[in-house]
């Protein structure tokens, strides 16, 4: 980052951004990629690229584009959300997609887009499940956007090449932070024909940046160096989950589940606040979401951190 060559990215003159976008496009099997400050902005840009005001998008009820992006598609793009149930494995049922597509009727919003996600809440959605709903969407003339913020985690977990997933979608958003470890940034990959529209919408959303090569250099390093090591995060999440399951078996005050690099811990309601404070007092800061606490492993976490976290949980239940 300290030695990155920089330029004005709004005019396509930042060599580090250009190198990152070329690397991302090649790895994701697309003709081009565009660098964004955040995944929320790249997802919104993709939606606005595919939909006009008054159009409708199909999306899973628990997917980030529906529940965690402040309703941006509706607020800023006039695009209606049509949420569909999400199954236990993170997928959407083919029948729900089929029934959710509105016929060409002047009284109804036009269904233009299917938004998918992988991973979702840590769950790696099987390729076959994504392929099935994508086929239905294609047959009805819909475009497909894949929110792949943690797509490489899914690839590691399911032993697939990333291009197997990206081939299903018209646009794919991949986060460079999170598991890949860059300080910030996301790439949106697509066909060259959409690039100018995406750049225009990015500018409109305030995502045009100038000498941003210092951040792009970190994203390029992340793509080139940090994909294969995601398996370490999965392994450590499994280790923590097993340790917490051992604690849970000693009583009925803790539920534990794990998928890829995420561990979900659901304490008894009476324990939640006290457990959260107990962990914080020992230097372990966990989001205070309820009913389940989410713990995510990443490249800043070592085996010793897993042991320390498990010990902190154990000390709470042994002392209470």
Q: What dihedral angle (degrees, nearest 10) is formed by the CA atoms of 11, 15, 16, 22?
A: 90
Structure token digits, residue 182: 């860059």
What residues are paired with 111 via a beta bridge? 56
Predicted pLDDT at 299: 95
Q: CA-to-CA distance for 225 and 207, rounded, in angstroms?
A: 26
Predicted pLDDT at 284: 94
CA nearest neighbour of 249 among 317, 187, 190 = 317
Structure token digits, residue 236: 């450590």
Q: What dihedral angle (degrees, nearest 10) is formed by the CA atoms of 148, 151, 154, 155?
A: 140
- Reported pTM: 0.96
Instruction: List the Cα angle 104/110/111 in 5-degree steps.
Output: 105
Predicted pLDDT at 319: 81
Check residue 175 and report its DSSP letter: E
- At residue 251, the 3 state secondary structure works out as coil
Predicted pLDDT at 249: 81
Q: CA-to-CA distance for 143 and 176, rounded, in angstroms?
A: 24
Structure token digits, residue 171: 């646009």
Structure token digits, residue 67: 């529940």
Structure token digits, residue 174: 């991949």
- At residue 56, the 3 state secondary structure works out as strand
Structure token digits, residue 121: 């809440």
**Which residues, 6+ apart, have CB-to-CB distance to 7 below 8 Å?**
13, 14, 15, 17, 211, 213
**Which residues, 6+ apart, have CB-to-CB distance to 70 below 8 Å?**
40
Q: pLDDT truncated to tens, each residue of the chain (320 aa)?
A: 999 999 999 999 999 999 999 999 999 999 999 999 999 999 999 999 999 999 999 999 999 999 999 999 999 999 999 999 999 999 999 999 999 999 888 899 999 999 999 999 999 999 999 999 999 999 999 999 999 999 999 999 999 999 999 999 999 999 999 999 999 999 999 999 999 999 999 999 999 999 999 999 999 999 999 999 999 999 999 999 999 999 988 777 899 999 999 999 999 999 999 999 999 999 999 988 899 999 999 999 999 999 999 999 999 998 86
**Which residues, 6+ apart, have CB-to-CB distance to 84 below 8 Å?**
58, 59, 60, 61, 92, 93, 96, 97, 100
Predicted pLDDT at 187: 98
Predicted pLDDT at 320: 64
Phi first, then psi, for residue 173 (nearest 5°) are -105, 125
Place of tokens 């409109």: 204
Predicted pLDDT at 252: 75
Q: CA neighbours within 13 Å on the CB side: how many for 290?
A: 8
């Amino acid at each position: 980052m300290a030695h990155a060559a920089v330029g004005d990215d709004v005019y396509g003159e930042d060599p580090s951004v250009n190198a990152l976008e070329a690397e991302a496009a090649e790895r994701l099997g697309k003709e081009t990629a565009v660098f964004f400050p955040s995944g929320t902005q790249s997802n919104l840009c993709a939606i606005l690229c595919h939909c006009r005001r008054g159009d409708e998008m199909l999306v899973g009820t628990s997917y980030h584009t529906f529940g965690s992006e402040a309703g941006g598609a509706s607020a800023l793009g006039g695009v209606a959300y049509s949420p569909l149930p999400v199954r236990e494995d993170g997928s959407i049922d083919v029948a729900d997609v089929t029934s959710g597509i509105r016929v060409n009727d002047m009284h109804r919003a036009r269904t233009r887009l299917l938004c998918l996600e992988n991973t979702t809440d840590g769950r790696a959605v099987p390729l076959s499940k994504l392929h099935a709903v994508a086929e239905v969407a294609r047959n009805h003339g819909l475009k497909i956007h894949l929110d792949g913020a943690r797509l490489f985690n899914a690839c590691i977990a399911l032993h697939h090449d990333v291009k197997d997933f990206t081939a299903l979608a018209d646009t794919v958003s991949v986060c460079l932070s999170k598991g890949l470890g860059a300080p910030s940034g996301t790439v949106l990959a697509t066909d060259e024909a959409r690039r100018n529209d995406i750049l225009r919408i990015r500018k409109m959303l305030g995502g045009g940046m100038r000498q941003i090569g210092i951040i792009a250099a970190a994203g390029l390093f992340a793509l080139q160096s940090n994909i294969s090591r995601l398996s370490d995060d999965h392994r450590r999440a499994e280790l923590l989950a097993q340790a917490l399951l051992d604690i849970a078996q000693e009583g009925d005050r803790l539920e534990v589940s794990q998928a890829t690099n995420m561990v979900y811990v659901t304490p008894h309601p009476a324990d939640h606040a006290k457990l959260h404070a107990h962990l914080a007092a020992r230097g372990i800061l966990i989001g205070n979401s309820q009913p389940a606490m989410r713990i995510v492993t990443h490249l800043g976490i070592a085996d010793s951190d897993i042991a320390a976290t498990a010990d902190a949980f154990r000390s709470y239940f042994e002392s209470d």
